[in-house]
Amino acid sequence: MTAIAMVTGASGGLGQALARELRQAGWQLALVGRDRERLRAVFNAGELCIEADVSTPEGAGAALAQCQRELGVPTALAHCAGTTLLAPLHRTPAEQYRACLSANLDSAFFTLGAFVDALREVRQPGAAVLVSSVVARIGVANHEAIAAAKAGIEGLTRSAAATYATSRIRVNAVAPGILDTPAVARIIGNETGRTAAAKQYPLPGIGDPADLARLMAWLLSEQAGWITGQVWAMDGGFSSVRPLVR
Ligand SMILES: NC(=O)c1ccc[n+]([C@@H]2O[C@H](COP(=O)([O-])OP(=O)(O)OC[C@H]3O[C@@H](n4cnc5c(N)ncnc54)[C@H](OP(=O)(O)O)[C@@H]3O)[C@@H](O)[C@H]2O)c1
The string of pLDDT tens digits covering residues 103-144 is: 999 999 999 999 999 999 999 999 999 999 999 999 999 999
> Which residue minimizes the CA distance to atom 7 of ligand 1?
133
* Closest approach atom of ligand 1 to CA 83: 47
Buried b (16+ CB within 10 A) or exposed e, 180-203: bbebbeeebeeeeebeebbebbee
pLDDT(71) > 90: yes
Amino acid 54: pLDDT: 98
Mutate-to-test residue for ligand 1 from 20, 32, 42, 83, highest number of ligand atoms within 8 A of CB: 83
Dihedral (Cα; 220, 222, 223, 225), 10-degree rounding: 90
User: 28-33 and 76-79 as β-strands: parallel, antiparallel, unpaired?
Assistant: unpaired
Q: Is 48 exposed, middle or buried (0-12, 13-18, 19+ CB in 10 A)?
A: middle
pLDDT(50) > 80: yes
User: How close is the Cα of 15 to the center of ligand 1, in Å?
Assistant: 8
Amino acid 227: pLDDT: 98
Amino acid 239: pLDDT: 96
In the chain, the amino acid numbered 8 is T
pTM over 0.95, yes/no: yes
Buried b (16+ CB within 10 A) or exposed e, 130-144: bbbbbbbbeebeebb
∠ CA 138-141-144, rounded to 5°: 80
Does some domain include residue 31? Answer: yes
Binding pocket residue ranges, ligand 1, CB within 6 Å: 9, 11-15, 33-35, 38, 53-55, 80-84, 102-104, 107, 131, 133, 176, 178-179, 181-184
User: 231-234 and 169-176 as β-strands: parallel, antiparallel, unpaired?
Assistant: parallel
Does some domain include residue 91? Answer: yes
Mutate-to-test residue for ligand 1 from 84, 140, 194, highest number of ligand atoms within 8 A of CB: 84
Does some domain include residue 214? Answer: yes
Does some domain include residue 245? Answer: no
> Which residue minimizes the CA distance to atom 48 of ligand 1?
179
CATH code of the domain covering residue 9: 3.40.50.720
Domain around 16: 4-180+208-232
In the chain, the amino acid numbered 63 is A
- pLDDT tens, position by position, 14-40: 999 999 999 999 999 999 999 999 999
Does some domain include residue 64? Answer: yes
* Closest approach atom of ligand 1 to CA 182: 19
- pLDDT tens, position by position, 154-210: 999 999 999 999 999 999 999 999 999 999 999 999 999 999 999 999 999 999 999
Does some domain include residue 115? Answer: yes
Q: Alpha carbon of 186 to those of 43, 155, 175, 176: distances in Å?
A: 25, 29, 21, 18
